[in-house]
Amino acid sequence: MTNRAKQIFTSGHRLGLGGVPQGNEFEVVTDEDAMKTLEASWKAGIRYFDVSPWYGLGAAERRFGMFLHNQPRDSYLISTKVGKLLKASPKNDARSNFPYGNSPNNVVFDYSADGVKRSIEDSLQRLGPRGSLQIPPGVVSQIPPPARQDKGLLV
């Protein structure tokens, strides 16, 4: 466990908040309701937040970024995933993945070194305008079988 994680995960604060619902995975969640959820979790002592570009095809990262932008940077830990790049497209298939979402994006799977770098850069953009926002090393998850075979990746 990193020093930052040890600071955040004290005996009184061992829970985190996942971002799937904030990405409209199960129902439409308004920005206002997302902010209320994040505010309530903060008041309850939650300081670890987990998001992904996949959650609402960028919606969850944007919402977490809006909320965390107003919190002291050294008081929380946020993680995201890599390997899924979002590409805006007027003919997107976002609703096939997130029927309650309204994202203009399609997903491009890219687990190459350049794709991972781009994924982190894109996440930082969605997470907010705060230049000091840092993300711990990305978690590669849900690598589709062709990517494993074509790229020689071990899972």
Catalytic residues: 55
- CA 105 to each of CA 4, 70, 139: distance values in angstroms, whole numbers, following the listed order: 33, 27, 21
Among candidate residues 26, 11, 154, 8, the one with its CA nearest the CA of residue 79: 8
The C-alpha atoms of residue 131 and residue 69 are separated, in whole angstroms, by: 10
